[in-house]
């Protein structure tokens, strides 16, 4: 009978993911704090009921004379990785305490998965705990570092993001704070990394009538305003684009009533002002209808995020400036819409790029490579140490890799290693794809011009032929093209990102830039 009463009391104090069994007034919850704590899985040889609390969780449990661990044992099976459980009324300062499963302790880097499993587990678990408390309308949450304050901060901030700017009813805005750890530097770094990705998500998710080329450029200008001592911004108008003879870019923009903008950002973070910059180039199609080669109407609304390359590039520069990374970066974002009209480019038209090469445009929906071609040509004037362009370029990339990783096409083993190393740390993975001459031949065999904007065999190897096309406009020895079409949005693949536009791979770009800054 005594055990029955204990178990009943435990159930009264606990809420799992599927049920709420204790009610606290909204006012009380919103005025007070929540707490997220972690627990690791037991080792295989250990007895059932063995608990491995994090340092912060163990300290909290000790302050309660072991009440937390007792309830964890009584309330159900051991928490698996990413699962969570909420306890009520344990502590006067925290009406709600979410305990989250962290998986195995010190899991480390998994060579098969190509990421640091421990970091990913922390991001996933902390985001789950924070969301549970957000759903309970708790407005301030203290978060256990779980042994890695940066990953915990990333999980919290990424997991709480929700695009509701245009809705009347909004989710509770939650502020977060580190709990039980002295690693404030790591925590704050994680906050900045995650806020950078959230900026990209914000830009990508916003409707195209709100984020036009002009509005996009203005938004980035506002975000960089606090860093004016290190940042120079040029919002190049159509007249400048014409002076630069960017015929490929103009061939895409001319179908729209919205004027194009060539956004140029200079972040001067290195003590050596003459240090060759890292050049980041992002595709900035703020809405892609396909042009005369019109897309199907189903899911066309998602093409508001076809500027994901520009969003992640610009967000990564904002983040680098916030972190004061000691590196020079130049960011280029050709911004325009791809729309059908009487002025729009027609299939079969021939246009001339900035480097003088002529391009037969057989498909106006293969427009991203055209605007990137002129941006890449222009970017060489900065004598960059490396060039990385980012674009939601091809549906073929989504078919090839899905949302598991961004595809990387590069002429440089060194650059690939830098990008890959960064992605292992962030968990936002990249995967190397082929850049064979086999594909180059398919875009240089054109009936009317030097190049064709689609491959000779149309859909076959579409991501590879697109990369081969871009290579025709690159002279630098260290260049990489990231095709991010497959990672543009998230359904439920990445647990710490809600459904919607993902902002990937912003954190990987930032980590890559940080690696160049500190390792050369």
The 3-class SS string of 353-386 reads: CCCCCEEEECCCCCCHHHHHHHHHHHHHHHCCCE
Q: How many residues would you count in the chain?
A: 520
The reported pLDDT for the residue numbered 48 is 72
DSSP 496: T
Q: What is the pLDDT of residues 407-431, one digit of tens each?
A: 999 999 999 999 999 999 999 999 9
The reported pLDDT for the residue numbered 1 is 40
Percent of residues in the chain assigned helix, strand, coil, to nearest 5: 40, 20, 40
Burial tier of 5 (Cβ tally within 10 Å: 0-12, 13-18, 19+): exposed
Name every residue whose Cβ is closer than 8 Å to that of residue 351 and which is 6 or more positions away in sequence. 247, 248, 250, 251, 345, 358, 359, 361, 370
Distances (CA, A) of 4 to 1, 248, 347: 5, 75, 75
Do strands 278-282 and 328-338 pair parallel, antiparallel, or not at all (unpaired)? Answer: parallel
Phi, psi (deg, nearest 5) at residue 406: -80, 140
Determine which one of 171, 295, 421, 456 is catalytic.
Answer: 295
Task: Using 50 as the pLDDT threshold, list the residues of the chain that sit under it.
Answer: 1-27, 29-30
Q: Has 67 been annotated as catalytic?
A: no
Q: Has 295 been annotated as catalytic?
A: yes
The reported pLDDT for the residue numbered 520 is 64
Determine which one of 369, 385, 471, 504 is catalytic.
Answer: 369
Domain residue ranges in the chain: 33-182, 196-519
* 439 close to 463: Cβ distance less than 8 angstroms: no
Q: What is the dihedral of CA 55, 60, 63, 66, to 10 degrees?
A: -90
Q: What is the pLDDT of residues 362-393, one digit of tens each?
A: 999 999 999 999 999 999 999 999 999 999 99
* The listed CATH number (3.40.1160.10, 3.40.50.300, 3.40.50.11540, 3.40.220.10) that belongs to domain 33-182: 3.40.220.10
* pTM (2 d.p.): 0.94
Distances (CA, A) of 120 to 88, 112, 128: 27, 14, 12
The reported pLDDT for the residue numbered 402 is 97
What CATH topology corresponds to 196-519? Answer: Aminopeptidase (3.40.630)
DSSP 485: G
Please tell me whether residue 400 adopts helix, strand or coil conformation: helix
């Amino acid at each position: 009978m005594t055990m029955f009463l204990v178990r009943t009391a435990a159930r009264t104090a606990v809420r799992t993911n599927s049920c709420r069994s204790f009610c606290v007034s909204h006012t009380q919850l919103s005025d007070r704090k929540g707490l997220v704590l972690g627990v690791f899985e037991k080792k295989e040889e250990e007895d059932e009921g063995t608990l491995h609390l994090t340092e912060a969780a163990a300290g909290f449990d000790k302050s309660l004379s072991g009440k937390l661990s007792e309830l964890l044992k009584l309330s159900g099976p051991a928490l698996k990785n990413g699962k969570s459980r909420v306890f009520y009324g344990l502590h006067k300062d925290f009406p709600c305490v979410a305990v989250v499963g962290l998986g195995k302790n010190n899991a480390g880097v998994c060579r098969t998965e190509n990421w640091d499993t421990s970091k990913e587990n922390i991001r996933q678990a902390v985001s789950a705990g924070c969301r549970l408390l957000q759903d309970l309308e708790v407005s301030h949450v203290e978060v256990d570092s779980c042994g890695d304050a940066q990953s915990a901060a990333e999980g919290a901030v990424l997991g709480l993001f929700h695009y509701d700017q245009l809705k009347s009813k909004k989710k509770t805005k939650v502020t977060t704070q580190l709990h039980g750890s002295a690693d404030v530097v790591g925590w704050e770094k994680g906050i900045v990394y995650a806020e950078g990705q959230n900026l990209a998500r914000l830009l990508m998710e916003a409707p195209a009538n709100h984020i036009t080329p002009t509005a996009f450029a203005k938004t980035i200008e506002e975000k960089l305003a606090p860093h004016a001592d290190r940042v120079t911004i040029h919002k190049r108008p159509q007249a400048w684009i014409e002076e630069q003879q960017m015929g490929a870019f103009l061939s895409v923009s001319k179908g729209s009533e919205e004027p194009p903008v060539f956004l140029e950002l200079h972040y001067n973070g290195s003590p050596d002002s003459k240090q060759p910059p890292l050049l980041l180039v992002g595709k900035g199609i703020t809405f892609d209808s396909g042009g005369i080669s019109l897309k199907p109407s189903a899911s066309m609304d998602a093409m508001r995020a076809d500027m994901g390359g520009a969003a992640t590039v610009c967000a990564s520069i904002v983040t680098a400036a916030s972190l004061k990374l000691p590196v020079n970066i130049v960011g280029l974002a050709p911004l325009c819409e791809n729309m059908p009209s009487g002025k729009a480019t027609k299939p079969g038209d021939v246009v001339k790029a900035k480097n003088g090469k002529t391009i037969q445009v057989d498909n106006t929906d293969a427009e991203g490579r055209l605007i990137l071609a002129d941006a890449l040509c222009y970017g060489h004037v900065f004598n960059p140490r490396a060039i990385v362009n980012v674009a939601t370029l091809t549906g073929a990339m989504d078919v090839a890799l899905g949302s598991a990783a961004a595809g990387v096409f590069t002429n440089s083993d060194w650059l690939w290693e830098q990008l890959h190393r960064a992605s292992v740390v962030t968990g936002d993975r990249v995967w190397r794809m082929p850049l064979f001459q086999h594909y180059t031949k398919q875009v240089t065999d054109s009936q009317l011009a030097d190049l064709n904007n689609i491959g000779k065999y149309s859909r076959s190897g579409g991501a590879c032929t697109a990369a081969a096309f871009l290579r025709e406009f690159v002279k630098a020895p260290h260049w990489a093209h990231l095709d991010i079409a497959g990672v543009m949005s998230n359904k439920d693949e990445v647990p710490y990102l809600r459904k919607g536009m993902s902002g990937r791979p912003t954190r990987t770009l930032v980590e890559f830039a940080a690696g160049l800054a500190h390792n050369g």
